[in-house]
Each structure stands twice: as C-alpha cells, then as structure tokens.
Structure 1
Amino acid sequence: MSILNPVRGSQAVYAINPVAKLLAALLLSLTLVLSIDWVSAGVALVLESVLFLWAGLGLRTFLLRALPVLIAAPAAALTTLLYGRPSGQVYLQFALVNVTDGSIELAVATGLRVLAIGLPAIVLFVTIDPTDLADGLAQVLHLPSRFVLGGLAGLRLVGLFLEDWRSLELARRARGVGDSGRLRRFFSQGFALLVLSIRRGSKLATAMEARGFGSSGARTYARASVMGWREALLIALAVVVALVAVVVSVSTGHWNFIGSQS
C-alpha cells in the first residue's frame, strides 16, 4: 500500500474526511507538547495503541511506515539520558555525560512523547488519499484553490520523481559511469534530477494554467467533501485520549508544564 494511493479497505477510517484526521492528529500533538512527563505520554500511547487496531493497517505495513519514528524515539531518549538536565542521584558521570534520576525520567518521557505524537500522525496520514485531502482543504477549510491544486500536483509527482531517479541510475550504469564514486555519483545524479524536475514542473504549470486551474472564479468539484458523524467521532476520540492523558498526569502529580521549565 502506498501513502500516495492507499488501498481502501472495509475499515471506516479510510472513509473519514482527511481534514478530521489532520485535526485529530494536531489536537493530540498540541496536548502532548504542553507537558514533559512520562505519564501523559504513556497513557496517550496506550489508548492510541488500542485505536490502531481499527486503522486497517497490517503489522508489516504499520512497522514499515512507523520505522522513522521507531528509530527517532530511542535515539532522542538516549541523547536525553546522556546529556539531560542532572538532578537526583548520579549513576554515571564522564565529561559531558551525566546520567541521573532526572535525566532517566526525562529520557523516558521524551521517548514516549515522540511515539505518542508520531505514531498516530503516521497512521492517519497513511490512510489519506491526496485527492480527498485536496477536496477537504478546499471545501472544508476553504484554502486558496491555487495552493491546494499545486500541492496536489506535487504529491502526485512524488512517485514519478522516484521512477526518474531509478531511470537515471540505470542509464548511468548502462553507460558505464555509475559503478564507482558513490558520493560523486549521488550529487551529479541529484543535479540531473533537479533539472529534470524543474522542466517537468514548468510544463505542468503551463498546462494547468492553460486549462483554467489558475482562474480566480468560483471552482466546482467532482466530489463533495463533508464532515459527518465519522469525523465527529474521530475528533471526539482524540479529545477523550487527550483529556484522559492530562487528567491522569495531573492527578498523579507528574504533570510538568513546559512553561514552568527554566
């Protein structure tokens, strides 16, 4: 399944308006960045993990899409563990490395927060079709049509961009110039792809302008983008997850508002 062209399954999440998915992800993200504590992030992650079962993604697909987040979370936690603010008992001290009770707690909170923010955003983005997203941005949020259509065209060209890179690589190897000097080959091939992309983008912009995509008049859409009960349910679930995470964190005394950090 491709991010640009997701396979629609029987799961209801695919039919939810992309605008609602973006709002739900934004709501969770804004709530979790308000506090640096492991309780709120952990509670949110547990509740989100239960909801992931209804996302319609297989385990392999989920792990592949979430791989950057799964790598970034422990990396951020390790960095915080070694170089975080020292407080409490000291377990290891060497040069700039200072592992203490405070750095351990902060490292756990950082890792959980990266997972709690990144994983739902990835899951929701995978189930978004670019055309549906463009319809929602234009019809629900009323963003300028030139911006929306330009973004849609750019997303549609991502797959072609990757194919061009493979074609350039095969062509260079066929001419005997792609077997050595990986770093030099990467930059020269990247420059060739940049030139090709600029030319294609210029042609596409001219074609879209000629077909009236740049018109300032009222635009019609082939499909209506509406917000219904599914969208309301998704946003309500995001609100519930955020509220439960905040309430549990505050009630246990772990809430650590970022504004109180000196």
Structure 2
Amino acid sequence: MSVLTPARGPQSIYSINPVAKLAASLALSALLLVTIDWVSAAVALVLESVLFFWAGLSPGQFFRRTAAIWIAAPLAGLTTLLYGVSAGQTYLQFWLIHISDGSIALAVATVLRILAIGLPAVVLFATIDPTDLADGLAQVWHLPSRFVLGALAGLRLIGLFLQDWRQLELARRARGLGDTGRIRRFANQAFALLVISIRRGSKLATAMEARGFGGDVVRSWARPSPFGRREWLLIAIGLVIGVVALVAAVLAGSLNFVIG
C-alpha cells in the first residue's frame, strides 16, 4: 500500500528517517500543549505553513490528508464557545450555554492549537513508509525486534482486511443477504471478518516463527536506517517552532499554562 507517489530525491522529506519525523512531531506537540492561547498557536501555525511546501504534497493531497483535522478543529471550537469557561462580558446565556469573552478567546485558541498540532503530524506521517518506520524504530531507537516486526506485519494487513470486508459484502449480496437489515448485516460481517483475521494472524505468526523472527539471537536488517544531519535538523526545526511560539505568547502576555 503506497503512501504517495512524488519524487523521492535525496533532498526530499520522504528520504528523512521516519523516527526523526516522529520525534519532531512529538517535540512540537509537547511544547504547544504547555499553554492554551491563540498567540502561540497562531505563530506556530504560520511557521508550519511555510514548511508545508517542503513536504512535497500537492494542495489536493494536503487537504485530503488533513480533512479530518479541518473538521474536528471547528467542532471542538464550537463546543468550547458554547460551554467554555465564562469570563468578561457575556453575550449569550441560555441554560448550559454561556458565550462570553473568555469562551470566545478559549474557542479561538482551541481551534488554532488543534490545527497547529494536528496538521504537521498528519503531513509528516503521510510521508512515512511503514517498513522504513519499522527499520528506524529497531535500528535507531533499538526497540525489540519482535514488537517492531509484529506491529509492521499487522499494519501491512490493514489493506487485506479492507479487501476481505469488500469480498464478504459482495458474497452476501450474491446470495441475496445484503439488501436488508443493515445493522444485522454489519454485525454478521464484522464477526466473519474477526474470524478471518484470527485465522490469518495465526498463520502469519506460525510463518514468521518458522522463518526465525521469534528467535533470541540479535537479528540483522536488510536495509540500514541512517540518522544524520537532516534528521537532527528536522527535530531542531520542530523544537524551534515550539520555542518561538511560546516566546511570542510570553511577549504578548497571553501565556496560559494548561497546568497551573
């Protein structure tokens, strides 16, 4: 299951070690989660927007990949607007709904922070190949090979599960069982898919163990997972964006620690 198909030259973000992308995303998220204010989130979002052009995604690919973030952010902001902490002037109050200056500011900060954290994470993960990620986790972070390879095998089976679901649906329709009772049909197909997945998982585990994947010896890797200057640069960029956003919030006097 291919991720995307642009050119993957030596200077492309696709060629950067996936572990560095994961670390950069986690570092940026950790810094932005310290405070909830619109200044830090807006500054981070502006700086990230400049780097999105480097990701190699076309506008169509970018918005398709991040569609869930664009939907979730306004919904979270609307909930915060209606039921957030009230402060300052009140504009509307009806039962549990209380819209005030405080809830408006908190809603704007919530929307911007979700975008600032979610968009770079989705963009970075859209450029990650599962096999490259497994190589990086085992060779760079030195995670147990059994865990890494098992997770990779499970991830690779997601596409097969989708195909199995489609085949089950077509088979039931061919037998005249797929036109009525939508809830019952879904439950039956889900149970059948569970049975198929357990059988396939057992066969896969046996096959991997027969090939020596469960041994105690230190295993070798077919492809090296280099970690060099570009990877450290990406992590540094994530840290710099987070630090600049926090400094901007401090200078603007809008820093609002989540815990405190």
Q: TM-score, normalised by structure 2?
A: 0.97
Once the two structures are TM-superposed, the CA of residue 6 in structure 1 deviates from its matched residue by 3.5
Q: Determine the structure 2 residue equivalent to 1:23.
A: 23
Matched, 1:251 2:227: no
Q: Determine the structure 2 residue equivalent to 1:99.
A: 99
Letter of the 2:37 partner, please give it. D
Quick check: 1:41–1:112 contact (8 Å CA) kept in 2?
A: yes
Letter of the 1:38 partner, please give it. W
> 5+ residue gaps in structure 1?
none
Once the two structures are TM-superposed, the CA of residue 8 in structure 1 deviates from its matched residue by 5.0
Once the two structures are TM-superposed, the CA of residue 180 in structure 1 deviates from its matched residue by 1.4
C-alpha distance in 2 between matches for 1:212 and 1:165 = 31
- Paired residue secondary structure (1:188): helix
C-alpha distance in 2 between matches for 1:44 and 1:18 = 22
Quick check: 1:165–1:193 contact (8 Å CA) kept in 2?
A: yes
Please list the CA deviations of residues 16-60 of structure 1 after superposition, one character each: whole Å capped at 9, or x if unmatched: 000000000001110111001011011101111110001011111
- Paired residue secondary structure (1:98): strand
- Paired residue secondary structure (1:217): coil
Letter of the 1:78 partner, please give it. L
Find runs of 4+ consecutive structure 1 residues off by over 4 angstroms. Answer: none
- Paired residue secondary structure (2:54): coil
Once the two structures are TM-superposed, the CA of residue 165 in structure 1 deviates from its matched residue by 0.8
C-alpha distance in 1 between matches for 2:131 and 2:4 = 11
1:7 to 5, 8, 19: 5
Quick check: 1:164–1:193 contact (8 Å CA) kept in 2?
A: yes
C-alpha distance in 1 between matches for 2:222 and 2:130 = 14
Please list the CA deviations of residues 86-141 of structure 1 after superposition, one character each: whole Å capped at 9, or x if unmatched: 11000010000000000000000011111111111100101000110000000000
Once the two structures are TM-superposed, the CA of residue 5 in structure 1 deviates from its matched residue by 3.6
C-alpha distance in 1 between matches for 2:3 and 2:201 = 21
Matched, 1:142 2:132: no
C-alpha distance in 2 between matches for 1:209 and 1:16 = 31
Letter of the 2:106 partner, please give it. L
State the identity as a percent. Answer: 66
Letter of the 1:53 partner, please give it. F
- Superposed CA RMSD in Å reads 1.1
Aligned pairs, number: 258
Please list the CA deviations of residues 191-236 of structure 1 after superposition, one character each: whole Å capped at 9, or x if unmatched: 1111111110010001001110001101100111121111011111
> 5+ residue gaps in structure 2?
none
